[in-house]
């Protein structure tokens, strides 16, 4: 019995020694091969593997474009009231405004003057009112001047058309210039002297003669009353080959 127990004890010792030697051999072998045995809880390192096959292209990670927020232009607030007023008051394109004479021509009807004066040397024509008369004056067989008035009323308006030599014209004598169809009109504002109101228009033409037409009447109120008649006479004036 003692012999059996002793043999069993010796066998256990021998098995333990043999197992320890095998473990030492395995550890030494792994160490010599440069391989670290796996840890108890799994691998702690990552292996980077490179493929040297020339037929395969290197796989690059796909780059996802970063989404950028949409930036909208910021409208600037206009705090300049002057610029706003200028913008609001900018007029639309239109035709040029008419001058004083052209505006008067548009407002009067010269055909209501039912009499007409005709002169043959310069081919002058001008209409005048019924009840009026005229007196013309020729110089060297050519018209020099013609005057119209109404002999039936006191302080009658007086209209004179005078022929002038072109070289006597001085543009700086007049403040206003107005281009019309048959001539260029030069004039100043009406003048009043000793109760008589006078308005004169110089007619610059392309012909060999120029003309001056003058309107005179007593009193400012009478001037305003007869002014349409004067403008109708001026509108009807023609010269040359018409």
Residue 38 lies in a domain: no
Residue 183 lies in a domain: yes
Residue 100 lies in a domain: no
Please, which residues have CB within 8 angstroms of residue 53's CB and are 6 or more apart in sequence? Answer: none
pLDDT of 44 strictly over 80: no
Alpha carbons 191 and 9: distance in angstroms, whole number: 157
Q: What percent of the chain has pLDDT over 90?
A: 54
**Of 28-32, 118-122, 191-195, 213-217, where does mean pLDDT reach its minimum?**
28-32
Predicted confidence (pLDDT) per residue in 149-187, tens digit: 999 998 899 999 999 999 999 999 999 999 999 999 999
Please, which residues have CB within 8 angstroms of residue 19's CB and are 6 or more apart in sequence? Answer: none
Predicted confidence (pLDDT) per residue in 68-102, tens digit: 556 555 554 544 343 343 344 444 444 445 799 99
Alpha carbons 75 and 115: distance in angstroms, whole number: 70
pLDDT at 136 (0 to 100): 94
Residue 219 lies in a domain: yes
Residue 161 lies in a domain: yes
Tally of domains within the chain: 1
Can you give the CATH number for the domain in which 182 is found? 3.40.1000.10
Residue 46 lies in a domain: no
Predicted confidence (pLDDT) per residue in 114-154, tens digit: 999 999 999 999 999 999 999 999 988 899 999 999 999 98
Token representation of residue 216: 């005179």
Residue 181 lies in a domain: yes
What range defines the domain where residue 218 resides?
121-236
- Average pLDDT of the chain is 77
Residue 98 lies in a domain: no
Please, which residues have CB within 8 angstroms of residue 228's CB and are 6 or more apart in sequence? Answer: 104, 107, 108
Cα dihedral 9→13→19→20 (10° resolution): 150
User: Highest mean pLDDT range out of 8-17, 20-29, 220-229?
Assistant: 220-229
């Amino acid at each position: 019995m003692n012999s059996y127990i002793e043999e069993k004890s010796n066998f256990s010792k021998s098995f333990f020694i043999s197992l320890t030697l095998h473990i030492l051999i395995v550890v030494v072998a792994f160490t010599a091969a440069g391989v670290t045995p796996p840890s108890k809880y799994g691998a702690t390192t990552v292996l980077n593997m490179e493929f040297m096959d020339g037929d395969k292209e290197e796989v690059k990670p796909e780059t996802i474009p970063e989404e950028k927020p949409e930036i909208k232009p910021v409208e600037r607030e206009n705090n300049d009231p002057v610029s706003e007023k200028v913008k609001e008051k900018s007029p639309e394109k239109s035709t040029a405004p008419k001058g004083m004479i052209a505006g008067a021509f548009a407002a009067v009807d010269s055909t209501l003057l039912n009499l007409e004066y005709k002169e043959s040397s310069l081919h002058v024509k001008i209409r005048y009112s019924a009840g009026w008369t005229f007196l013309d004056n020729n110089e060297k067989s050519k018209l020099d001047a013609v005057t119209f008035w109404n002999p039936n009323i006191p302080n009658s308006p007086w209209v004179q058309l005078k022929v002038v030599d072109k070289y006597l014209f001085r543009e700086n004598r007049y403040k206003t210039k107005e281009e019309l169809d048959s001539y260029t009109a030069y004039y100043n504002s009406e003048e009043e002297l000793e109760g008589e109101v006078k308005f004169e228009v110089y007619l610059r033409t392309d012909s060999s003669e120029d003309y001056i037409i003058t309107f005179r009447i007593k009193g400012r109120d009478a001037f305003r009353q007869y002014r349409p008649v004067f403008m109708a006479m001026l509108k009807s004036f023609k010269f040359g080959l018409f």
